Structures are given as structure tokens and as C-alpha cells.
């Protein structure tokens, strides 16, 4: 009994003219996610992608599908996915195979219904007839069941499509959103904290390919702190796909700041310098936006005035997907994407090392600009960009699921 995976796209199906390029990107992302676990063949038709395991035996095919499903659940652009049984387009073959195939699902249920989708209109039976006849047969074979058309425990679906018929009973929710790459590229400011990895996840969900940059202040910050950030990148690859990462040396800039600028402006000046460098790296990488993990009012550097002062040096839109979220909501997502345990490891960040005792809560742009003018940062910025170290994080074969 050979099974395949049917992938349904949600929102994407509405994208009209863009649809075929959306499908192509989704298919490419799916292939990338599955290439390390084995061979599959792929096709698409009628808002569905068909993933067929290429294996010698049904058991080996089943094992491939079991590995593929959790990976696919992290691919954006997929609304739902189901393992489905392939049958001939013949009602007798469908019932004969469906009865044993559905045993686990139906034995665990009290109520069910049958749904039929007849994409191939030449199939001799109409949908209501397929539902009624298969429903009747299943009731006979599984006499503990009752039909419930409004809220069944299990919905058995029969799809009559071009080449084959398919039967499935377990439809699983996909990650939703849009395929990574369909909305362009963006540069994430990635600290080692809880928020910025969540921001990456949220924007990748809207179709952005994410590149990250991290500002490190060795020796004030440790190698361990940097490794933590790299671990976060790795954790994000199941959602974001492969991810380029820049580590920017920030020590000299911070030391200059500390020597020459008023302490109360340290944080906001650091933010502005990070933003300027991030925008430059973003241009090099062909990004159209910056992403940060800021949330309004969370800390002194995240007041409206402070955000205005940072945005004044940005050369492209700054996306802040967490801006209206509470910490508990952010933590919930970070647990879901499994970055929380890494984020809470107690390694210092360059910002915490240089935190002023009394940061300005409502900095005025003109005062901030004046404070920054104490130092000619331009050559230091060039040096930081030239010294940035780029790495690419690809998906891991040993990825924890």
C-alpha cells in the first residue's frame, strides 16, 4: 500500500498571477528540506503538491514519509498536509484499499464522515454518490462508528485526481504563511536574546529570506556568547532555510563611544551605529528591509523617541514584528520554535556590557546627533564592515525535530 504526501497551499492559492512563481518557490523550498533524508519525486496540480517517496518497499517508503512530515510542518506556504493512500481510479480498488488503511484512524474515532473531491469530472460516480457508498461500506466494517457531518472525529477524504485516486483521514495543519523567498530579502539584527530569533521566524513566515548580523565586542563579550548566536541561526534554518550570518566587530566603536560621548546616550548611539552598519550590509546582500526584535516600551531604547532616533539613520524600512507583543507572547513563540533554551543562556551581549546607569528615556534626535558628532564614526564603520565575518548556516541532517 503505497502512500504519498499531499501538500495544500492556503493563502498562496489566492495569489492570482503570482501563483505559479509562488508554487515554484514552495516546491524548491520543499525539495531543499527533504533532500537530505532520501529520494522523492514531486509534481503539482490543482493547488496541490504531490510528494512521492522513491523506495523499494512500502515499509521504506513509509519510513521516508514519517521523516518528511515533521520537516514539512516547518515549511512556510503550506496550509495543510496529509499522508494519503494511492489507489486506482476505480471505486472497487478504493474501497478495498481504504478499509484496512483507515483502520487506525477509524478504530480510534466514534464519529466520521466521508468527503469526496472529484477533480477529474470524467470519473463515473459523482461526489455525493462516492460519499454515500463508501460511508455505507465503512459503517458495515466498523460498526461502532456513527456518521456526524458537522463535527466528526475523523473526516475520510477521497480525491479523484488526474492520474490516481487518493484516500486520507488525517489532515495536519501546516506552518501557514508564504514561501520563504517570495517577499524578498531582509537583514535581521540578531542578538543572543529571546526576541530577535522570534522576529526572524515571524518575517520568514511572511515570505522574507532572512540574513542575520550580530555585533560582537570581544573581549568584553566572549566566544561562548558568539557561539550561542550561531546556535540560534542553526535553530532557525528549519523555518528560514539556509541563512547567511555576519559577525561584525563592534569593540572599537563602543570604546570610542565610551571615551567621547555622554553616557546617557550610549545605548541609543549604539543602536544607531548598529542600524547604519546593518543597512550597509543589507545593501551588499540585496535586502529591502531591516528586521529587529524590538517591542514598544520594553526597555529604554524601545520608546517611541528612541525608535525615531534609530530610524533616522536607516536607509530602508525597519520591520519590527514584535512591536505590539507582550513578553509572554514572545516567549510562547520562542518555545515553539525551540530557541528559548538557547536564548536564556546567561552570556553577555555587547549592549549589556556598555549599558549606561541612567539611559535617556526620551532622547531628542537633535541632542543624539550632537552627541554622536563628538566622534567621526565613518572610518570606524568602514572598518567594522570590512572586518565582518560571513558564514552560511545550512539545514542540519541531525536536526532535532
Rg from Cα positions in the chain: 26
- Among residues 276 and 349, whose Cβ is nearest to ligand ATP? 349
Q: Considering only the stretches 165-173, 179-187, 191-199, 236-244, report the one whose residues sit in contact with Mg ion under the rule CB under 5 A.
A: 191-199
**DSSP state at residue 349:** -
Contact status: 189 vs ligand ATP (CB under 6 A): yes
- Among residues 13 and 284, whose Cβ is nearest to ligand ATP? 284
For the bound state, the minimum distance from the C-beta of residue 194 to Mg ion, rounded and expressed in Å, comes to: 8
Q: How many residues line the site for ligand ATP (CB under 6 A)?
A: 19
C-alpha to C-alpha distance for 88 and 390, rounded to whole angstroms? 52
Beta bridge partners of 147: 112
By CB under 6 A, the residues from 297 to 326 that bind ligand ATP are: 298-299, 301
For the bound state, the minimum distance from the C-beta of residue 387 to Mg ion, rounded and expressed in Å, comes to: 22
Contact status: 395 vs ligand ATP (CB under 6 A): no
Q: 186 near 210, Cβ under 8 Å?
A: yes
C-alpha to C-alpha distance for 354 and 267, rounded to whole angstroms? 8
E strand spans, 10-71: 40-45, 48-53
C-alpha to C-alpha distance for 145 and 135, rounded to whole angstroms? 10
C-alpha to C-alpha distance for 321 and 310, rounded to whole angstroms? 16
End-to-end CA distance of the chain: 27
By CB under 5 A, the residues from 18 to 77 that bind Mg ion are: none
Q: How many residues line the site for Mg ion (CB under 5 A)?
A: 2
Dihedral in degrees, nearest 10, Cα atoms 302, 304, 309, 315: 90
For the bound state, the minimum distance from the C-beta of residue 352 to ligand ATP, rounded and expressed in Å, comes to: 7
For the bound state, the minimum distance from the C-beta of residue 193 to Mg ion, rounded and expressed in Å, comes to: 3
Choice from 155, 191, 211, 372 touching ligand ATP (CB under 6 A): 191
Contact status: 154 vs ligand ATP (CB under 6 A): no
Choice from 95, 155, 292, 372 touching ligand ATP (CB under 6 A): 292
Choice from 193, 241, 321, 363 touching Mg ion (CB under 5 A): 193
Closest listed residue to residue 65, CA positions, set 1, 138, 13? 1
**DSSP state at residue 302:** G
Q: Site residues (CB under 6 A) for ligand ATP?
A: 189-191, 193-196, 214-215, 274, 292-294, 298-299, 301, 349-351
Amino acid at each position: 500500500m503505497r502512500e504519498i504526501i499531499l501538500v495544500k497551499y492556503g493563502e498562496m492559492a489566492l495569489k492570482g498571477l503570482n501563483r505559479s512563481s509562488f508554487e515554484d518557490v514552495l516546491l524548491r523550498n520543499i525539495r531543499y528540506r527533504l533532500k537530505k533524508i532520501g529520494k522523492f519525486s514531486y509534481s503539482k496540480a490543482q493547488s496541490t503538491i504531490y510528494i512521492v517517496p522513491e523506495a523499494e518497499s512500502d515499509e521504506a517508503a513509509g519510513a521516508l514519509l514519517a521523516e518528511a512530515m515533521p520537516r514539512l510542518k516547518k515549511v512556510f506556504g503550506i496550509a495543510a498536509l496529509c499522508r494519503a493512500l494511492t489507489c486506482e481510479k476505480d471505486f472497487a480498488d478504493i474501497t478495498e484499499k481504504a478499509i484496512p488503511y483507515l483502520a487506525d484512524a477509524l478504530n480510534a474515532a466514534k464519529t466520521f464522515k466521508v468527503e469526496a473531491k472529484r477533480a477529474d469530472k470524467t470519473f463515473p460516480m459523482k461526489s455525493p454518490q462516492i460519499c454515500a457508498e463508501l460511508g455505507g461500506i465503512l459503517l458495515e466494517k466498523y460498526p461502532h462508528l456513527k456518521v456526524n457531518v458537522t463535527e466528526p472525529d475523523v473526516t475520510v477524504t477521497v480525491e479523484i485526481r488526474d492520474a490516481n485516486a487518493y484516500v486520507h483521514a488525517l489532515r495536519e495543519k501546516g506552518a501557514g504563511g508564504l514561501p520563504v523567498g517570495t517577499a524578498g530579502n531582509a537583514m535581521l539584527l540578531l542578538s543572543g536574546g529571546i526576541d530577535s530569533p522570534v522576529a526572524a521566524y515571524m518575517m520568514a513566515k511572511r515570505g522574507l529570506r532572512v540574513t542575520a548580523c550580530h555585533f560582537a565586542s570581544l573581549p568584553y563579550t566572549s566566544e561562548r556568547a558568539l557561539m550561542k548566536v550561531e546556535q540560534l541561526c542553526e535553530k532557525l534554518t528549519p523555518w528560514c532555510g539556509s541563512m547567511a550570518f555576519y559577525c561584525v566587530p563592534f569593540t572599537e566603536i563602543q570604546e570610542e563611544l565610551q571615551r567621547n560621548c555622554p553616557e546617557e546616550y550610549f545605548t541609543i548611539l549604539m543602536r544607531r551605529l548598529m542600524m547604519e552598519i546593518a543597512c550597509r550590509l543589507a545593501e551588499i546582500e540585496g535586502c529591502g528591509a531591516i528586521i529587529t526584535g524590538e517591542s514598544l516600551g520594553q526597555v529604554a531604547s524601545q520608546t517611541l523617541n528612541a525608535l525615531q532616533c534609530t530610524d533616522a539613520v536607516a536607509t530602508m524600512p525597519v520591520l519590527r514584528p514584535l512591536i505590539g507583543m507582550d513578553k509572554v507572547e514572545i516567549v510562547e513563540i520562542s518555545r515553539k520554535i525551540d530557541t528559548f533554551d538557547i536564548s536564556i543562556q546567561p552570556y553577555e551581549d555587547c549592549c549589556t556590557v556598555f549599558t549606561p546607569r541612567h539611559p535617556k528615556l526620551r532622547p531628542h534626535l537633535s541632542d543624539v546627533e550632537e552627541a554622536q558628532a563628538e566622534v567621526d564614526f565613518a572610518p570606524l564603520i568602514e572598518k567594522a564592515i570590512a572586518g565582518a565575518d560571513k558564514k552560511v548556516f545550512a539545514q542540519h541532517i541531525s536536526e532535532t525535530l
